[in-house]
Structure 1
Amino acid sequence: MNLNIPDYKKIEIDKIVFDLNGTIACDGSLIRGVKAGINSLAADFDIYILTADTFGTAAELLKDLKAELVIIDSSDGSKFKADFIKKLGCKNVIAVGNGNNDALMLKKAELGIAVIGPEGTAAGALREADLISREINDVLAILSKPKRLKATLRK
C-alpha cells in the first residue's frame, strides 16, 4: 500500500500486525468476517497475529488464516509488541489493537489503528492510535480500500 495522505504523511505499508484477543477475536472465537477479511489482505500484505496464547489455543483458532502467529512474552507484552513492530520496520507497518498492552505498538507503527470491539478499548490505545474504528470488520474494509484512510486522515 502506497498512499500519500495530504498534509498528513506518505505511507508505504507491506505488513499488518493484529492483536488477537479483543481485536480479531472475542471469548475464544474469531469475530465473524475476520477470516475472510484477513485472508483477502494477505494477498498484498504480510500478516502477523500477536498473542500471549494464555490457553494454548491460538494455533488451532488461527489455522485457516493466512497469517503468522507470534506468541508474545506475557511478562511485558507492551514492550514485546513494540519491539516486534521495530523489528519489522516501523515505517512499513500498520498495527491494530484495543488494549493497554497495544498502546506502544500503535504508537511505533507507521499507522496505528485502535478498535472499539466487544471488549471495549483501553484509553491508552485510543491516545496512541492514528485512527479509531468501531469494530474490526470496518478496519478490514478500510485496509482493503485505502482511499478511505486518505479521506479520514487528511488535514
Structure 2
Amino acid sequence: MNRKNFITLTIIISGLAFNPLIAKQVSYTNIQQKSIQKSVKSSIALTLFRRGIEKEKSDELAKKLVNEDDNIFLTILIKNLEEKMIVSSQEVVDFLSTKALKKESINFRNYDFLVGMISQIKNEPLDKNTLQILSEVSKVNQQIFA
C-alpha cells in the first residue's frame, strides 16, 4: 500500500510542478493566435510598428494593403495555410507587412502569387504536394471573389 501511495503522490507532485510551464506555453500560443484572428490588418500594422514605423503610418500602410473585405478573407486563408502546415500565420503576417512597407500589391486569387509568397517565406523550392494544395487554394479563392 505504501508503494502505491508513493507512486500516486509522485504523479500528483510532478503534475503540479509542470502544470505552470505547460499553462504558460498554451496561453502564449492562444494569445498569439487570437491577435492574428482578431484582424490581419491590425496584425500587419502591429508588425510594422514593432519594426520601428510610427503607429499612424503603420496603420495607414496596413489599411492601404488590406481592405475590410480582404481582411476577413485573409484570416480564413491564413488559417487554411496554417492548418495544412504550409506556413505559420505569423510568417504570413511578416510577409504581408513587408509588402505593405514596400507598397506592393497582393493578389491571393493568383496561383503564381501564392507560390511566390510561400517559396519566399520558406526560402526553398516547393514540393509537389505543397504546389497542389496552393493550386486548390487559388481555385477556391477565385470562386470566392468571382
Query: Relative contact order: is structure 1 or structure 2 higher (C-alpha 8 Å, sep ≥ 6)?
Result: 1
Greater fraction of residues in strand:
1
Task: Name the structure with the higher helix share.
Answer: 2
Answer with 1 or 2: which has the greater Rg.
2
Structures share a fold, TM > 0.5? no
TM-score by length of 2: 0.28
